[in-house]
Structure 1
């Protein structure tokens, strides 16, 4: 058996107030010249200013790049890189959702190694760039602990997956209090993204005992708290549980990989601009239903941990209950169909072959319990459209 490789940030602080330890974290890592990378909303709402206040008091200068965009592109990364290269920065502080964190990771690598983002797309591996300190403000992507970044090529509209130890942040400050103002749609989408991370990591062909326990713990927490976080946004217990699950899901899939759901979701973001968590949610029940027969014990264990099946239920019954439960969850959280999202049927059908090609190119489908070829993926996309 090949030993499992586990990659984590050097510093991982989790809990209320974790983001307030940024000054101490910089000093612990012997860093002193940060660039803050965030998005316009967080800058306008004062999140960036609150984060920077202790740095100002400590005499640490920290300019701000606040032009991150949803589903970061090669253009937005280039803009961040340009600002990074103009100053004498020794690290980046990434504040925001997965888009801000991925932008910072990508710019950090390009700043140290040069080239263009396509040079770092899988199957290439990414060497260490400038240090990144990740401070997530959404409970879902897990980007604060992963060795991955997803960047859309502005020219080809392909979502490129970049992987490597160099994309693991050196530190992650995971503060659930930063998520308290997340709107319901974002809470639901990022929470379902976390569910996909944990589920896919557990059934992945690269799963191992270290990630199994973390993935199952995340699934239990998500099942118990996601609906509450959506329906009662001020519930601190639910918010904290979902933030913890997001980091656990990130650790699980960063070290066991995702599978067919994520592979098929990337083209939806690149071609139709569906947010990442929402695209995963659209695919989750149907792809799971197609896959369960090839790892029934694993999927059944997920169903039991999530409270969708009982210990005495057969694996076949538990798998059926898992699929039913996932379908109901997406209904309860108002996940739209591709048509409801606004995608035209002719555009969807015209893109089927391209979507299948891009899904396979990501490499993720190769980790799925049931291996899909291009024809299988096209069939699944048709089923998802049909509902």
Structure 2
């Protein structure tokens, strides 16, 4: 493994995982001298039963709870002052987010508003302008259908995308009892986003070896446990493993740069109703094949988290990259066998026109990257990787 001359990696997130993880909520809050959390959730997302399970974890703790469980499915800027007033009027001193997506975004943004020392530290472009200083404890009870963004320092306030390491949750709790039986489409969508972020972080030398270790873990957990979760085999346990992978992917993603698969899929999303994660999955084998020409040894090492040390060791060096690409196709086939809405194998299977694809290519490609983008999109259009030609 090559050690890049300069890199930065930070992961202040603590993970508390297991069948009784929720029981540790009061102790983790008390460790930060927090005694009055405001619980944020969405009944539509997690249901009353699981909100009740979180409340039950505090029954004998003596802690005072505030609850707002009607968060919308998108961050609402107008709601933030209401939540801030609820937090202050209730003398709350911490935040507990239950769920994923907009719920966690709202919790992160609220934490900025109510923490002392916050002075509009993020600029209008969503870039970090200055350190907002220490924030109040933010606990996250994770559920299925997240995509790893919950574990990052990114947050969407409904207007812009904010960025600061201070936004990373303090502790995440992953308990099988909280694995909501979401529809498979949402679960796979989130898992594919996390998987692509992990793969691209793994291939990003400048991110450093610690980032790569988190990405390695994420790839292995998601690819091993997601098909079993879709087959309803010990579903809650396998979903917990997938969520662990998503959290690890989020940690890696926040310490690396968004890769070309992320950028291309985001551009393609403007022309289709397909989930973003499905688009990322469709592009991933082509992105990996393209990378294989420039860094074959690095791409070949992707095989390790996919198959384990024994098979990796006996696979010839020149076969590792093509075997990695083949395993991605096999993985997507296994997922499609359980899905009613399939991950497309090629852009021609989506509802995008050639004109839309060309417009996206022209917009995203520039200079030396033009050939790379063109080859990736052409391969994805036909469903054939460059190595198959």
Which category describes the TM-score, using the shorter chain as reference length?
0.7 to 0.9
Write the deviation string for residues 130-153 of structure 1: whole angstroms up to 9, x where unpaired.
Answer: 432111102652344322235664
Correspondence 1:348 to 2:365: no
Question: Out of 146, 152, 159, which is 2:152 matched to?
Answer: 146
Give the 3 Å change call, closer, same or farther, for CA 103–341 of structure 1 in structure 2: farther
Kindly state the Cα deviation for residue 300 of structure 1 after the two structures are TM-superposed. Answer: 0.6
2:40 — aligned with what? 37
Trace 1:121-160 onto structure 2 (pairs within 5 A): 121-122=126-127, 124=129, 127-128=132-133, 129-138=135-144, 141-150=147-156, 153=159
Give the drift of 1:120: 5.7
Give secondary structure in 1 for the equivalent of 2:302.
helix
DSSP-derived class of the 1:288 partner: helix
CA RMSD of aligned residues (A): 3.5
Q: TM-score, normalised by structure 2?
A: 0.78
Whether the 8 Å CA contact 2:17–2:175 is kept in 1: the answer is yes
Matching residue of 2:99? 96
Indicate the structure (1 or 2) with the bigger Cα radius of gyration: 2
Pair 1:61 & 2:65 matched? yes
Q: Give 1:259-274 correspondences, 5 Å limit.
A: 259-268=259-268, 272=272, 274=274
Cα shift at 1:376? 4.5
The aligned counterpart of 1:203 is 203
SS of corresponding position for 2:151? coil
Contact kept? 2:176, 2:237, Cα under 8 Å: no
Q: Is the 8 A contact 1:35 1:84 kept in 2?
A: no
Rate the CA distance shift 1:214–1:111 in 2: closer, same or farther, 3 A: same
SS at match of 1:31: coil
In the alignment, structure 1 residue 5 sits paired with structure 2 residue 3: no
Say if 2:141 and 2:173, in contact at 8 Å, map to a contact too.
Answer: yes
Whole-angstrom CA distance in 1 between matches of 2:362 and 2:78: 28
**Cα displacement (A) at 1:258:** 4.2
Q: 1:305 to 1:131 in 2, by over 3 A?
A: closer
Number of aligned residue pairs: 363
CA distance in 2, matches of 1:190, 1:258: 16
**Of 309, 330, 336, which residue of structure 1 is paired with 2:343?**
336
> Is the alpha carbon distance of 1:67 and 1:237 closer, same or farther for their aligned partners in structure 2, counting shifts above 3 Å?
closer
Unaligned runs of 5+ residues in structure 2 are 337-341, 384-389
Q: Which residue of the other structure, out of 343, 355, 380, is the alignment partner of 1:384? A: 380
5+ unaligned residues in a row in structure 1: which ranges? 154-159, 361-370
* 1:311 equivalent in alignment to 2:317: no
Q: Which segment drifts farther, 260-269 or 308-317?
A: 308-317
- 2:54 matches 1:47: no
Higher mean displacement: 23-32 or 332-341? 332-341
Change (3 A) 1:142 1:200: same
Alpha-carbon deviation of 1:274? 4.7
Aligned partners of 2:94, 2:269: CA distance in 1, in Å? 29
Distance 1:193 1:202 in 2: 14
CA distance 1:165–1:385, shift in 2 (3 Å): same
Distance 1:178 1:273, change over 3 A: farther
Aligned counterpart for 1:373 among listed residues 351, 364, 369: 369
